[in-house]
Structure 1
Amino acid sequence: MRLIPPAFTVFTFIFPLFSRPANAQGTLSAIPRTIPVVNRSPYFGVWATTEDTKVDPTVAGTVPMTWSWRALNWTGYVRVDGQVWQWLGSDHPGVTPATTTGTYLSATQTMFTLDAGPVTLNVSFLSPVEPTNLVRQSFPFAYMYVDAMSKDGQAHSVQLYTDVDSSLISTRNDTVEWNTTHTASSVYHDIRRRSASSLELYDVAEDGNLFYAMTESSAVTWQTGTFSDIRAIFTGAGKLNNAEDTLFRASQDQNHTVLAFAVDLGNIINTAEPVVWAIGHVRESLLLGYGGTIGVERRVSYFWSQYLAIKDGIDAFLADFPDARARAQRLDEKLKQEGSVVSDEYADLVALSLRQTLGAIEITLPRFDAKSGWNTSDVQAYMRDMGVSKRANPVEVIYAAMPALLYLNPKILMYLLKPLFAFQSSDKYQNAYASPDLGNDYLTATGNGTNTKKLGVEHSGNMLIMAAAYGMQTKDWTSLNPYAKVMKTWADFLVTEALHTKDQMSADGLTGENQSNLAMKGILGIYAMSKIREALGPNGEETYFRDQATSLASQWEQSAVANGDHISSVYGQPATWGLAYNSYAAQLIAPDLFTKKVFRDQSDYYDKQADTAPAFGLAYDSADPHVVKSHWTMFAAAASTSARARDKLIRSIHDRAFKKSTAAQFGTTYNADTGASLPLGGRSSPAQGAMFALLVTDIQGKPSDSSSATSTSKNIGGIVGGVIGGIAGLALLAAGVFFCWRRWKNNRTLAEKKGFDGDAMTTTSFSSPEVLSITARSYPMTPSRYSEMPSELVPVPFNAAERSPISSPSVSDSHPSPVLSKGAAERARNAANTTRRAQAQLPPSEQSDDTTALSYLPPSSTTSHNLHQEVEVLRREVSMLRAQQQQMPPATPTATMISASPSAPPPYYSS
């Protein structure tokens, strides 16, 4: 690769003074201990963390992981003047990790500045967020790109290397197969299990295909084979042999297979443009959904409607990189600017929530039909209940994520509601209330018709509120018209059940009569129906439901307002209190239904309570005083009329999210006193889309268009902060010349490249999705060497009768005990495996379906911890709790009318 012209060398001398990569606009003001690296689908998420709580996380010298702590083998080397450093992945013998000098995070990107001897690397990971372009949003690929620059102004010989293996697509020690493919413009590897099945194990989809791609050039070499051989070839020669290993082997072979690329940058002072890789996780069939008269139908990703083959999508994705990065930076800056109007802490939370919210959602079409092609009018979206269970389209989680969806693209909210509406409008569903989800298994999202009447007020209210919010935001009431009948049924149910919530339960696990917050949601659902009916065409029902909602709201105020200063959690019990978070929905769709003084007084009450609250914020309810639910805290903050109360609530969420002594990802549910993570506490949950609530308080306006947004926020990139002393003017001048030249070069490239647009075209032939057969086979399980903990943990249930948590062994991430020895860890793994085998032998009605999550007692200590201790504590508890559950009496089966749901009603749960 050629040298940069001398005119640009001045810029390179001042490079060490620049504190941030050039693409670090819109970055967060703080860095949490565990950060997203890639987040593109429920089964394609990569995170980075750190054992040392005094430093920021990095990808250099540490193991990337999934949200459920499964280690991933993703490796990167840089060879500088013949010496090798590692810039991605864990330490390898004889290879020195690059030194991390900066970690930066924005809404769409994660960036690291790394020193490798005389060269500095900017390593960036971009997860595109393209909510208004369904092709781009549904294409499950991310970018990794690297810039290199000399620290001493001298030219150095630089080669880059990276490889992946099968750890993202398999937890079993079975055979994997791979290919290397050359297209007109790119070269890519792919790897998959030989015995693929439409199942998941330890949160890994077993029919996944991992793709790793680069644009073809003379500087790029590639190879597949055993990791020891391939890495040795690169460290010795600085390039690979363009050779494919066809000896397929077990995924967990001691010398397992890697798919590698190397790039020779030549003797450089700095790279003129970044080196770019694309990495993707593709499942040709995403899930089974309810297909109406045809029964069950296979759903595939929307992007297939644009491309005849995956190679076409990869070529377009790589070619689109300059534009994709520019769009991402605009969105980063827009969110930073708008969030900072509230506070820097709030802007941080919005940015941190974005990727995990959309990363849990897949946008689908029915499979390709040879006669009619792709039916792009039948778009449905599916959400996996990340961090809690495997449920499909959990209604309370969609409700929590509603602000982000309304802000980014309200149509995605409707796409999520559509399969719920469709199933419950059919003769397969006989209940008079809304269902909580589409089933306990995300991959079989065909509907849930079981008896969940206890959750009837909760989810009937959720569904009607979200439907009205969608209609009011978009004015697209036509999409709701086919479901008017079922929505009226739910509203009728609420008229009789909402006010006193007899025999009802909230999604938080609170039970009993006269729950004020739950009742408010039910009353809002009735009002929502009046707005829907009015928009669809008045027939008298709109007046009836409006009058009912108005009457019930008046009765609610008389019962729920305690001592004139706050909303009691339970009618007539002024000592009870809680976050009346459904007041956010009132502000959104019914700002005049309740007396405004009620919410003003409630805001003032939050303000006073926050002064004596535990370290990490107000509990969601006084019945569960040690548990915080951050998504509901943000709803309460958005509905607050007091800026002081709002800011205190936001600050409490921020303090916990960026707490360095806890390793969990951005979770919804944690201990109020210590911030300790709770099992099934919503790690990486899309419910954190609630962080957008303050950006969506008036849905009468126009939908936001993130793709065309511009920003006037300050440029907080490296150039602004890096200039020191008397060389400031020269530095800025040189930098300006450099970037003008670079922009000219990029514009010339853009004029030549193939576009990656979102205009869906009907295709006439496509081989992969329509011929893939759906199987559900079972294989003997071999414990994975990557598995650090079971992915779903059985929690301690809430005692509905006593409204208090059942005592349990401490679930804490705060024990000061040393890291377990290998022997102790092995015994813990054996114990967990024993309970799993015993569980598998039970009849279905006695097996855990991994969906229960209610409430927990606080841990006993506030001492900090490390990741290994947290994992081991959770592992020991799951072994004990599953053993206890085996002794419980079986649930009584009830009749069901759907093929995919369990025969017994699911245990109740909490997000």
Structure 2
Amino acid sequence: MILKLLSKKSFLVLLACIVLCSCANKQKTEHGLEFRAPAYPLITIDPYTSAWSTSDQLFDSPVKHWTGRNFSLIGAMRVDGQIYRFLGKEEIPLKPVVASAKYEPWKGKYINKKPKQGWEKQNFNDKSWNTGNAAYGTAHFGETSTVWDSPEIWVRRKFTMDEINNNYDYYLIYSHDDDLVLYLNGTEIVNTGNRAKSNVTTKIDKQLLNLNGENVIAAHCTDRGGLAYLDFGIYTESNQKPVFENCAVQNSVKITATQTKYNFTCGPVDLNVEFVSPLLMDDLNLLSRPVNYINYKVNANDGQSHKVEVYFDATPEWAVNDLSQEVEVAKGTSGKVSFAKAGTTEQPILKKQGDDLRIDWGYFYLAGSKPQNIAIGDFHNAKKSFTDNGNVAAEKEHIQTVMTKQMPALIYTNQFESVGTKSESGYVMVAYDDIESIQYFGENLKAWWTEGGNVTFDQILKSANNDYQSVMDRCDCFDEQIYNEALKAGGENYARICMLAYRQAISAHKLVKDTEGNTLFLSKENFSNGSIGTVDVTYPSAPLFLKYNTELLKGMLNPIFYYSESGKWTKPFAAHDVGTYPKANGQTYGGDMPVEECGNMLILTAAIASADQNAEYIKEHWEVLTQWVKYLQEKGLDPENQLCTDDFAGHFAHNTNLSVKAIMGIASYGKMAEMLGEKELSEQYINEAKGMAAEWVEMATDGDHFKLTFDQPGTWSQKYNLVWDKILNLGIFPEEVSQKEISYYLKMQNKYGLPLDSRRTYTKSDWIVWTATLAKDNETFEQFIDPLYDYVIHTQDRVPMSDWYETTDANQVAFQARSVVGGYFIKMLEE
């Protein structure tokens, strides 16, 4: 009787509580999967506060932001006076020799039309070229001083060097948007191809440099659309040397959905370290809370007692876009929590937008529960003090500096006078208060956790501290649940890539509410173009959120619905995006994807309604859904020359997979009409979709498979959009269509997976999982998953999992840290 009175939502909450209590009452077991990842998630809060280990051993490389920039986080343990570094690596910032524009303006010669042959050589006569200050690029972008608005630019920079220190290495640091070819004294040392990156560091062969003579850096950069930028300089090592040189022995690393767990030996003491991101989708307040935990536990392994001191430090690198920005560091307390915080003095809230950017407003926190010691001091001196004494004296209460001149540190220490076989433990909190999170059609929005500005960051720190043990228990319980569900759905290797994908997919979003209280879960299109709320990123990301909380998927669709329903977007099809992160003020992408985005929105709305088992969300948006389905009726069967979600491959017409999406969109509309009680309308659209599917089969058939485009025999492509016919039980295409494709795909696989189509050998990992889900049995499914797993564990690109890579050699093509890996969970929707 009681259950009948509960709403579905209330029942799920009650069920979660029952499961949690059951889990908490069990003796804790260490869950986790041990495998080599391209990069290991450490701190994953949102697209800005996202830190990873890019080496197999936690201490072999500095901790990195997903863009590749250092987010220094160092951990060491002192055992009976002996130091063991277990986390991060001291990487002293390079000092400028020939500074880039980020540090000081420099003059160069430039031209916008192709120069004469030999333009890159030292003795080339460039007197007729223009003179201008760097950087060169789009107005008001980066450090641009000279506007570059032509398709190409050639730049020559001359300099002399008085000395070259043979004890130190020299590096070129460069930023480019897009393609860059760069020469040093006539020798090509950089050739990026079609890429855009910021502050790339590459070692220079010192023999290429002329001492006491003229040197020339010559660069050619191409703008492929959007922003343009070019800047470069030469740097060398600091004369300051690392303090924590001795390392622990790493025994293992395990990955769960919410945790990365390391085990070390530090001489006579064992150390366990857990990085915990409590991204639990049944609790949006907790998911939004910008606090992660680093747990540590120590115990003797020799039966003796030992004096142990634990040390963590971080730098203000977490709170700047660039090291040249002035920062301030201060200490404080919040109830039982002590903290050090860092932020820029400028605080340019929501001023910047773009892809390869880090947050430079708000404050980064390193915090601990009293009586652990929190201090601020010099990056080098603090480590020396800990090495010598096992603690860090409170050097200062406030520091204001530029990190290229002085590197401050936020420091946490804890002392255990006697550690024996009984373990001692503690935890550090890493947090970020971004003050304002998103600009949404002109309104600045705070993060979800603020409850409209009613909850302060002090309160959040207190709650994170008070809730610590219950949060740990819930994370352990959920990790066990999600692993078992993934294992059951697709096998061990499938479960492993899902565990690695979980935090990456969620933390590539920001959770806020609009001024009307509607959920907005806005993605950043990481290392693609930086768009916010991209529909064709939402589409592949959706399965994770369909599985665990449709409210978050609604939050991904809501901005696109609002954009059209408000009249701000006036085209008859769905928009591609709502801006460039973190500014969601309207589409900024240069091209439309009409069939793609209409199909995406219709399919996902139907999937939400199916998961919720009610039509409430459909009712809210029926008018614009009807507009979009009519567009697909007219344009969807044989699409015109346009982009699809695989837009990096370029425009093309008669796309058979895009046609499948249109047909699925129309069928989804029919399913939604049925849920609204519109039986006649439902039959009309379902029958139309079936008729289009029959035409599709006739037009696309190419012997033992189906074509890439209707007009190109001898081609093929992954028809991953067919998966919704199975997931939503639409019954539009004959089953033999998907099974014919599956049989053909098994012949087309390379060592590291199934190519995207017949044009190239690269692939998209999310689409492989969707395609594999078309298989009728798990054995066949795993034949597609195993090569994908081999890519994950063998790729040499140490970045948060890329979804675009070569199937022949496991090399990254582009993209990293994107939310689309949430698509891996589609196999779990079969239930």
TM-score bucket (shorter structure): 0.7 to 0.9
Structure 1 equivalent of residue 507 of structure 2: 359
Structure 2 equivalent of residue 682 of structure 1: 815
Structure 1 equivalent of residue 781 of structure 2: 646
The 3-state SS of whatever aligns with 1:312 is helix
Distance apart, 1:398 and its partner CA: 0.9
Bigger proportion of residues as helix: 1
1:321 to 461, 465, 468: 468
Amino acid at match of 2:753: G
1:117 to 236, 259, 267: 267
Hey, what's the Cα distance between the residues in 1 that align with 2:731 and 2:389?
72
Hey, what's the Cα distance between the residues in 2 that align with 1:29 and 1:205?
32
Amino acid at match of 1:44: T
Amino acid at match of 2:633: V
The 3-state SS of whatever aligns with 1:275 is strand
Mapped contact 2:576–2:589 kept (Cα < 8 A):
no
The 3-state SS of whatever aligns with 2:796 is coil
Structure 2 equivalent of residue 392 of structure 1: 532
Counterparts of 1:27-38 in structure 2 under 5 Å? 27-38=32-43
Mapped contact 2:377–2:394 kept (Cα < 8 A):
no
Mapped contact 2:641–2:654 kept (Cα < 8 A):
no
Name whichever of 313-322 and 572-581 sits farther off. 572-581
Hey, what's the Cα distance between the residues in 2 that align with 1:687 and 1:366?
24
Hey, what's the Cα distance between the residues in 2 that align with 1:226 and 1:379?
42
1:514 to 616, 633, 654: 654
TM-score, scaled relative to structure 1: 0.68
Structure 1 equivalent of residue 751 of structure 2: 615
Distance apart, 1:271 and its partner CA: 5.6
Amino acid at match of 1:506: C
Structure 1 residue runs without a partner (length 5+): 1-21, 51-56, 291-295, 368-374, 699-911
Distance apart, 1:44 and its partner CA: 1.2
The 3-state SS of whatever aligns with 1:96 is coil
Hey, what's the Cα distance between the residues in 2 that align with 1:200 and 1:506?
24
Structure 2 equivalent of residue 83 of structure 1: 82
Hey, what's the Cα distance between the residues in 2 that align with 1:533 and 1:648?
38
2:319 to 163, 169, 183: 169
The 3-state SS of whatever aligns with 2:738 is helix
Pair 402,671 (structure 1): closer, same or farther in 2 beyond 3 Å: same
Structure 2 equivalent of residue 695 of structure 1: 828
Distance apart, 1:422 and its partner CA: 0.5
The 3-state SS of whatever aligns with 2:381 is helix
Amino acid at match of 2:573: Y
Pair 273,315 (structure 1): closer, same or farther in 2 beyond 3 Å: farther
Pair 573,247 (structure 1): closer, same or farther in 2 beyond 3 Å: closer
Mapped contact 2:68–2:799 kept (Cα < 8 A):
no
Structure 2 equivalent of residue 820 of structure 1: none
2:383 to 221, 231, 247: 231
Distance apart, 1:179 and its partner CA: 2.4
Hey, what's the Cα distance between the residues in 2 that align with 1:30 and 1:61?
17
Distance apart, 1:638 and its partner CA: 1.0
2:569 matched to 1:426? no
The 3-state SS of whatever aligns with 1:97 is coil
Mapped contact 1:223–1:230 kept (Cα < 8 A):
no
The runs of 4+ residues in structure 1 deviating greater than 6 Å are none
Pair 418,126 (structure 1): closer, same or farther in 2 beyond 3 Å: same
Structure 1 equivalent of residue 723 of structure 2: 584
Mapped contact 1:222–1:243 kept (Cα < 8 A):
no
Bigger proportion of residues as strand: 2
Pair 534,449 (structure 1): closer, same or farther in 2 beyond 3 Å: farther
Hey, what's the Cα distance between the residues in 2 that align with 1:411 and 1:247?
43
Structure 2 equivalent of residue 214 of structure 1: 368
Hey, what's the Cα distance between the residues in 2 that align with 1:69 and 1:94?
23
Structure 2 equivalent of residue 350 of structure 1: 498
Mapped contact 1:431–1:449 kept (Cα < 8 A):
no
Name whichever of 352-361 and 28-37 sits farther off. 28-37
Q: Bigger relative contact order, structure 1 or 2, given CA contacts below 8 A and separation 6+? A: 1
Mapped contact 1:192–1:208 kept (Cα < 8 A):
yes
Amino acid at match of 1:227: F
Distance apart, 1:451 and its partner CA: 7.6
Distance apart, 1:356 and its partner CA: 0.2
Distance apart, 1:323 and its partner CA: 1.6
Number of matched pairs: 646
Q: Deviations over 1:726-757 (max 9, x none)?
A: xxxxxxxxxxxxxxxxxxxxxxxxxxxxxxxx
Q: Deviations over 1:153-208 (max 9, x none)?
A: 10001111111111111114222122222222111111110101122574201113
Hey, what's the Cα distance between the residues in 1 that align with 2:581 and 2:794?
31
Amino acid at match of 2:714: A
Mapped contact 1:29–1:344 kept (Cα < 8 A):
no
1:258 to 388, 393, 409: 409
Hey, what's the Cα distance between the residues in 2 that align with 1:186 and 1:643?
49
Structure 1 equivalent of residue 553 of structure 2: 413
Pair 693,94 (structure 1): closer, same or farther in 2 beyond 3 Å: closer
Mapped contact 2:367–2:429 kept (Cα < 8 A):
yes
Q: Deviations over 1:802-835 (max 9, x none)?
A: xxxxxxxxxxxxxxxxxxxxxxxxxxxxxxxxxx
Counterparts of 1:236-385 in structure 2 under 5 Å? 236-242=388-394, 244-253=396-405, 255-270=406-421, 272-290=423-441, 296-305=442-451, 308-341=455-488, 342-366=490-514, 377-385=517-525
Mapped contact 1:177–1:248 kept (Cα < 8 A):
yes
Amino acid at match of 1:303: W
Mapped contact 1:462–1:525 kept (Cα < 8 A):
yes
Amino acid at match of 2:469: P
Name whichever of 647-656 and 265-274 sits farther off. 265-274
Structure 1 equivalent of residue 603 of structure 2: 465
2:252 matched to 1:102? yes
Hey, what's the Cα distance between the residues in 2 that align with 1:501 and 1:391?
25
Amino acid at match of 2:286: R
Q: Deviations over 1:136-160 (max 9, x none)?
A: 0011211001101112110001111
Pair 478,654 (structure 1): closer, same or farther in 2 beyond 3 Å: same
Pair 108,694 (structure 1): closer, same or farther in 2 beyond 3 Å: same
The 3-state SS of whatever aligns with 2:68 is coil
Structure 2 equivalent of residue 483 of structure 1: 621
Q: Deviations over 1:690-738 (max 9, x none)?
A: 111111124xxxxxxxxxxxxxxxxxxxxxxxxxxxxxxxxxxxxxxxx
Hey, what's the Cα distance between the residues in 2 that align with 1:450 and 1:386?
14
Mapped contact 2:298–2:423 kept (Cα < 8 A):
no
Hey, what's the Cα distance between the residues in 1 that align with 2:41 and 2:388?
33
Distance apart, 1:503 and its partner CA: 2.3
Structure 2 equivalent of residue 595 of structure 1: 734
Distance apart, 1:378 and its partner CA: 2.1
Mapped contact 2:577–2:588 kept (Cα < 8 A):
no
Mapped contact 1:523–1:552 kept (Cα < 8 A):
yes
The 3-state SS of whatever aligns with 1:274 is strand
The 3-state SS of whatever aligns with 1:277 is strand
Pair 228,24 (structure 1): closer, same or farther in 2 beyond 3 Å: farther
Mapped contact 1:161–1:261 kept (Cα < 8 A):
yes
**RMSD, aligned α-carbons:** 2.1
The 3-state SS of whatever aligns with 1:582 is helix
Distance apart, 1:282 and its partner CA: 2.3
The 3-state SS of whatever aligns with 2:401 is coil
1:146 to 296, 301, 307: 296
Pair 321,313 (structure 1): closer, same or farther in 2 beyond 3 Å: same
Amino acid at match of 1:395: V
2:641 matched to 1:503? yes
Structure 2 residue runs without a partner (length 5+): 1-26, 91-241
Mapped contact 2:317–2:323 kept (Cα < 8 A):
no
Structure 1 equivalent of residue 102 of structure 2: none
